[in-house]
Structure 1
Amino acid sequence: MASRDQFQRFIFEHSQVRGAWVQLGESYQVIGSQAPYPDTVRTLLGEALVASILMSSTLKYQGTISIQAQGEGPLRTLMAECSHDRYIRGLARFDEHAVSEDSFTDLLGQGQMAITITPEQGHRYQGVVPRESDTLAGCLEDYFERSEQIATTLILFADDNGAAGLLLQRLPGATDDDEDLWERVNHLARTVEAAELLELDSETVLHRLFHEETVRLFDAEPVAFRCTCSRERTLGALEAIGRDECYSIIEEQGSIEMDCQFCHAHYRFDRNDIDHLFTGHTLH
């Protein structure tokens, strides 16, 4: 059986309309098992992971794109990140006593949402996403319309077993024919059922939706969970905390212990590690 963790680009031939499709299985299961997520939170996290992958197709350089939301509702933090080579990670922080069968807006309440693009070379960019829609997809569509001036359709689904999505974009320079094409395919995309995206392969889904159009589907790319944490990165975070604070913790606790929020890797640093970090050599 083919892997469900796949991403594919496609274009409508001889037009300025493009798209992307993604389906997640194992990677979504791994990320969803990192905490006892309630169903509503897990579903939204799945949608965010799918959205980050679809949006990574718009990157023009190597790096990562992340979706981050902070709220005052029972869901305090939502974060999903995808790299240019389709490695993903994500998390959610929530009040387990307050989460119920709530909508996107009810879960997050008032708060901010942002898209962060971090290139491997160059400056980091962050754009604020208006939270005026009652769905994550709607908010991200607004972001593209306002920040990028690109008409975008996002279809996002997630359930207990997997997550999937579809992206369509009308690029700048569209002709009248492209406008007509956009209206047709945009309408058709919004008729897709959750079960179709979650269970069927890309060729079947695209044929069902757009069989009257000429669609070119590019080779599939694998998607996988991978955390970017490391002992070196964690030491860098300690360096940012500062010498005095680190030595204060060492004096009080004997060591500094840190857990990765994404993969739960555990890192322990003793006095020798901190000496080496701040002086370049061990003193004990």
Structure 2
Amino acid sequence: MTDQIQRFLFDDTNVRGEIVTLERAYREVLDRHAYPPAVNRLLGELLAAVALLTDTVKLDGILSIEVRGQGVLALLMAESNPGGELRAIARLAEDQTLPEEGLGFRELVGDGQIVITLDPREGSRYQGIVALDHDSLAGCLEAYFAQSEQLPTRLWLAADGERAGGLLLQRLPDETQNRDRDAWDRTVHLADTVKREELLGLAPLEVLRRLYHEETVRVFDPKALRFGCSCSRERLADALLSLEASELREILAEQGAIETQCHFCHTHYRFEPPEVEALLAGDETPPPTLH
């Protein structure tokens, strides 16, 4: 299984971790767009990161990470849900030339911020914001955990346009479990030796064996990951209702119908005049539209 996330922990310590590998889901995201290689790599890191964070915070809902930059890249966004579905998109800034292949994270995004949104099925929506003050996506996300979650967390991310991978370690707050006081420093030091090629080319268990063959590691069953888009006619209809009725009717008069496309998966949606009028009237079962 090439697309999976696997949880693990170190016995008799308060250190836990996750390791993720992506191939098919990553390629499905890239195949729907034509991004430059440098953007493809950063998008792969973001996909790995959003998968890691979704399992880390144990959210029953949608978690999204938005990198809002002021450089060549105006936006990077990835979403994940507990079902293991991932999607992502990038947007180049207007009037910018295509980035060179070797550009790094800060060269691509410039100044800006990362917005992490937790949207549970039940309960209140939460957003955390952290500045782009580090030279890597992993460094910025570590700063988010230090600021918002107040849990020491480290990430290692890699992507090459074909595969993406990531490793996360986190120190839990319950000191009663921490019989090994040096565990955090030791496990982080060992993780710092992981090579990009290993995150991308080795199976997760092989990576853990290479890093922690002298540690007692408890590994849990992996969870499958895949590309999936949460767009739907209902969500698009809700978005239409955020516009003024006069504006919607003006579009209908000019174009004959309202057509839109999901930026993530390119699914095309068409709303005919009777359907739009039914939405405006508050009818929950508007007439179906063939498309």
Residue 169 (structure 1) aligns with? 170
- Structure 1: stretches of 5+ with no match in the other structure: none
For residue 214 of structure 1, the aligned residue among 204, 213, 216 is 216
| Distance in 2 separating the partners of 1:193 and 1:61 | 30
Return the offset for 1:225: 0.6
Which amino acid letter does the alignment assign opposite residue 110 of structure 1?
D
Q: CA deviation at 1:268?
A: 0.7
Cα deviations by residue, 1:38-73 (Å, 9 ceiling, x for unpaired): 111010000001000011112234112111011111
| Distance in 1 of aligned mates of 2:193 and 2:83 | 30
Task: In structure 2, give the amino acid aligned to 1:164.
Answer: G
Q: Deviations along 1:86-108, whole A, 9 cap, x unmatched?
A: 11110001146241232211111
Are the counterparts in 2 of residues 59 and 84 from structure 1 also a CA contact under 8 Å?
Answer: no
8 Å Cα contact 2:260-2:270 kept in structure 1: yes
Moved more, 173-182 or 113-122: 173-182
Residues 1-284 of structure 1 mapped to structure 2, 5 A cutoff = 3-95=1-93, 97-100=97-100, 101-174=102-175, 177-279=179-281, 280=283
Q: Which segments of 5 or more consecutive residues in structure 2 lack a partner in the other structure? A: none
C-alpha contact 1:11 1:17 (8 A) present in aligned 2: yes
Percent same amino acid at aligned positions?
Answer: 46
**C-alpha RMSD of the superposition:** 1.4
1-structure distance, mates of 2:5, 2:172: 20
TM-score normalised to structure 1 length = 0.95
1:276 maps to a residue whose letter is A
Displacement, 1:179? 3.8
* 1:145 Cα deviation from its structure 2 partner: 1.1
The SS at the match of 1:57 is helix
Contact 2:59–2:118 (CA under 8 A) maintained in structure 1: no
| Deviations, residues 137-163 of structure 1 (Å, cap 9, x unaligned) | 000011111211111110000012100
Q: Provide the C-alpha distance between the structure 1 equivalents of 2:222 and 2:36, rounded to a whole number of angstroms.
A: 32
Cα distance in 1 between the residues matched to 2:128 and 2:37: 29
Paired positions, count: 280
Shift in Å, 1:242: 2.6
Is the Cα–Cα contact under 8 Å of residues 112 and 131 in structure 2 kept in the other structure? no
1:17, 1:178 within 8 Å by CA — same for their partners in 2?
no
What TM-score does the superposition give when structure 2 sets the normalisation length? Answer: 0.93
Deviation digits for residues 91-137 of structure 1 (CA, Å, limit 9, x no counterpart): 00114624123221111112221111110111110001221110000
- The alpha-carbon deviation at position 177 of structure 1 amounts to 4.4
The superposition leaves residues 235-283 of structure 1 with CA deviations (integer Å, 9 ceiling, x where unpaired) of 111011131111110011111110001000000111111111112367x
- Deviation at 1:178? 4.1
Inter-CA distance 38–112: structure 2 relative to 1 (3 Å threshold): same
SS of the residue corresponding to residue 241 of structure 1 reads: coil
Larger deviation, residues 93-102 vs 144-153: 93-102
**1:244/1:68 CA distance change after superposition, 3 Å:** same
Return the offset for 1:16: 0.8
Q: Secondary structure at the match of 1:155?
A: strand
Pick which of 135-144 and 271-280 moved more: 271-280
CA distance, structure 1, for counterparts of residue 240 and residue 163 of structure 2: 36
SS in 1 for 2:242: helix
